[in-house]
Each structure stands twice: as C-alpha cells, then as structure tokens.
A and B are shown apart, each in its own frame.
Chain A
Amino acid sequence: GNSVTQMEGPVTLSEEAFLTINCTYTATGYPSLFWYVQYPGEGLQLLLKATKADDKGSNKGFEATYRKETTSFHLEKGSVQVSDSAVYFCALSGYTGNQFYFGTGTSLTVIP
C-alpha cells in the first residue's frame, strides 16, 4: 500500500544553517508529492509540490526534488530563519480521491 516515512524530530537549528528533512514514500503508480507547513495554532499550508519524476518544487527558499529511483522527496533550505520554525509534513496523493497520505510531521525550531 501507499505510505510516507518522514524524518523524526524535533530538529533544532541555528539561524542561517542548512536544513534537510528526509521523506521517503511507498506508492503504486505515479503519485504527486507535497510538503506542507503548519505554524502554531494554524492549519496546514501547501509549501511546494511535484507531480512527476525529476520535478523540483520550490517556494520561499525551500526546495524538494521528486526522486523516483530512491522514492524520496527530501525538503531542503540553504539558510533557515527564525520565522521558519514550524511543523513540516510530507504527503503523497494517488489518483483515487481518498489516497492522500501524510507523514508524521517534523517539528523545526530555529534559534537566533
């Protein structure tokens, strides 16, 4: 079946450090892949997405590349800011409507 495995947190980084949050997936067919961000007290917001192999999603300095050969979609940012402190979720969507799977979330804290 489909599933998403996400790097466990919490992750604490100093401002301007490099960020990687690992995400691997298991899926039949060719899913779309997503990263969501959740700030305290809010719902999830779509951060970026990729819909086919080798696509790179990017937004607000974050990037992730859809790697079919390693079934991965790792989130990266070159220089994190305090405002990036949030919980990050990796997710995948298969074609059938209810086939949307989330990772368990990774909490990131960036300290000045």
Chain B
Amino acid sequence: EADIYQTPRYLVIGTGKKITLECSQTMGHDKMYWYQQDPGMELHLIHYSYGVNSTEKGDLSSESTVSRIRTEHFPLTLESARPSHTSQYLCASSPGGYNEQFFGPGTRLTVL
C-alpha cells in the first residue's frame, strides 16, 4: 500500500544531542516537504525537495538540515538539539503540479 512513514513517532532527548528524524514514502513522489507545527497549530515550511539531490530551505528559518539521496527518503537532522526545537515535525510528499500533499503521522520531539 502506498504510504508515507515517519519514525520515531515520539522522541525525548537531552540538549546537545544529534538526532535524525526519518521520513519515507512509497508513492514515488518527486516532491517532499518538512513542516514544523507549533502548539498554536500553524504549519511552517522548513525544508523542501523537488527530487534527488535537490533541497531548499523553506519560509521558517531552521537550524536543521535535510538530504535527498533517494527518491523515497527525506531525513531531517538536528546537529545539536535545544529546547527551542521542541515541536511537532510533519513530513509530506506530493506528485507536484496542482495535486495535494500527503502527510506522515508526525514526530513529536521534546528536548529537555
């Protein structure tokens, strides 16, 4: 079944740790996105990719980095986590054009 996956679903870590949030999709979509969702619900685009070896920063400045080595995989890395990184992170993919985005279940990150 075509889907989009995120792991882990929940993560609690200490300040200064390096973490990678995983996102994979089986739909063959070229376009993938990372959003940060604040407690007030609003979504903020932090990274996107149009395809393999393509990555761009989004509207919200983020200290995270991403890579796109394979079409299906779009991991997000924080080199040194801080309490200000505590948030919900949502991954999405799309075939592009006027089509919708498909979302993963999200990763709830808490940095102590």
A-B contact number at CB 8 A: 61
Across the interface, which residues of B come within 8 angstroms of A66, CB to CB? none
Quick check: B48 and A98 within 8 Å, CB to CB?
yes
What is the number of residues of chain A that contact chain B, defined by CB distance less than 8 Å? 26
What is the number of residues of chain B that contact chain A, defined by CB distance less than 8 Å? 27
By beta carbon, the residue of chain B nearest A93 is B98
Contacts A31-B98, A98-B56: A43 and B43 contacting too (C-beta < 8 A)? no
Across the interface, which residues of B come within 8 angstroms of A107, CB to CB? 41
Across the interface, which residues of B come within 8 angstroms of A80, CB to CB? none
Decide yes or no whether B103 CB sits under 8 A from chain A: yes
Contacts A43-B90, A105-B41: A97 and B100 contacting too (C-beta < 8 A)? no
Using CB atoms and an 8 Å cutoff, list the residues of chain A in contact with chain B.
31-32, 34, 36, 38, 41-46, 49, 51, 87, 89, 91, 93-95, 97-98, 100, 102, 104-105, 107
